[in-house]
Structure 1
C-alpha cells in the first residue's frame, strides 16, 4: 500500500502527465498562426455571444490582453463585435462565420482524441471521467472568478 506522500506524488504525476499529453494533442491540431490564448478565446465564444468583461474573467486574463487578442482575431476575420443593446459602449463578441468554420474543423480533429479515449475506457469509466473533469473545471473557474 502506498504512503500518503507516495500516493500524492503519484496523483500529481498522473495529473501532469495527462496535462502534457493534452498539450501535445492540442499542438497537433492547433493551426498555424493561432496562439493558445486566441484558440481559448474562440473556444469560449462557441458557447455564444459574450461581453469582453465576462470573457476576460472566464479566461483569467486582463482586459488589455483580451483586447489585443480580440483585435488580432478580428483582423483574421474570426471574431466580430457589435454594440450591445442596452449600453452601446459594451461590445457583444461573437465568432464570425469564418471563425465558426475554423472551430468546426478543429473540433473534427479533437474528435479523434475522444475516439481514442472511448476505445480505452469502459462506458462507466467514461462517465466517471466526465463527472470528475466537470467537477475540477468548476472549481478552477470559481477560483479564478473569486479573484
Structure 2
C-alpha cells in the first residue's frame, strides 16, 4: 500500500468527471485508513436483469491482508458465500490499496480486468465505487452494501 495508486498508469482518473467529488471523501483517521470489512460480502445495490431472465448481483469479498474477489451471480449471499473464495476460478481477483477512506483495486479474471476506485462509507458498511472495464470500456458507478455472512471453513 501507499505510494501512487495502481491507476496511475492504467486509468487517468479525473475527479471532476467522477461521480465521487473530492469533498465527499472522508479524511484518514488517526489509527490509519478505513478498511473494508472481511466477515461477509459487499452486494451491489443495483442488480442487472433482462426480461424473463435471472437477476444478477455484483459481489465483492475482501480478505486479509489486502485481497479482493469479485463475481456476478444470480445466487443469494448465503449461496455465493459457500463457494466464493480468494482462489475461485470463475471470479476476478486483485489487491486493494487504501488512502484514508478511499479505495482502489483492479479485479482480473480470464476475460480481462476491471478497475475500481471509490470510497468506503461510515463504519465500512457501504462502498461507493466507480468502475471501468478494460475488457469492453464500460463505466459504471455502483453502491455496495455489506452483509455479514458466516463462511464455511
TM-score, scaled to structure 2: 0.23
Q: Which of 1 and 2 has higher RCO (CA within 8 Å, sep 6+)?
A: 2
Which structure is higher in helix share?
1
TM-score (norm 1): 0.23
